[in-house]
Amino acid sequence: MKKSSIFGLIVIAIAIAVIISVYSSTSSYGNFNDAKKSSSELKVVGRLNKQKELHYDAIKDANYFSFYMRDTVGNECKVVFTGTKPEDFERSEQIVLTGKMIGNEFHASNILMKCPSKYTQDKLETKEYKAKQASI
């Protein structure tokens, strides 16, 4: 075999290995029931339950934050995040958690939040302004 053929086969083998490793490390979406059945990390989408307590005490333990979240099918679960509480967490419209169930708690390794649009107030003001202009 030529050296260029051997080099080409090695490059192809490395590319296949990289693709397989990237594919296997991605987590899929589910709900809290799916997380109970799965031993790997899962992404769960839901909303914060504002009626239940948020626990974060920066003086006692700055790397412990817990709250209750309701997933897209209505299941509620206590979520524990080993990190600081994200800024404006209570204002989030939707939360995407990456993690896994340990016992009856979902332990999140990452939190992504969809916050309310900062442009919503501007749209409201524009509609009010147009309504006033039309009445003049």
How many Å apart are CA 86 and CA 43, to the nearest integer? 18
Question: Structural domain boundaries of the chain?
Answer: 29-119
Mean pLDDT of the chain: 82
Residue 79: the pLDDT is: 95
Into which CATH architecture does domain 29-119 fall?
A: Beta Barrel (2.40)
Tell me: the pLDDT tens digits for 118-131? 555 555 555 555 55
pTM (2 d.p.)? 0.65
The answer to whether 78 and 58 have CB atoms below 8 angstroms apart is no
| Residues sharing a CB contact under 8 Å with residue 89, sequence separation 6 or more, in sequence order | 48, 54, 67, 113
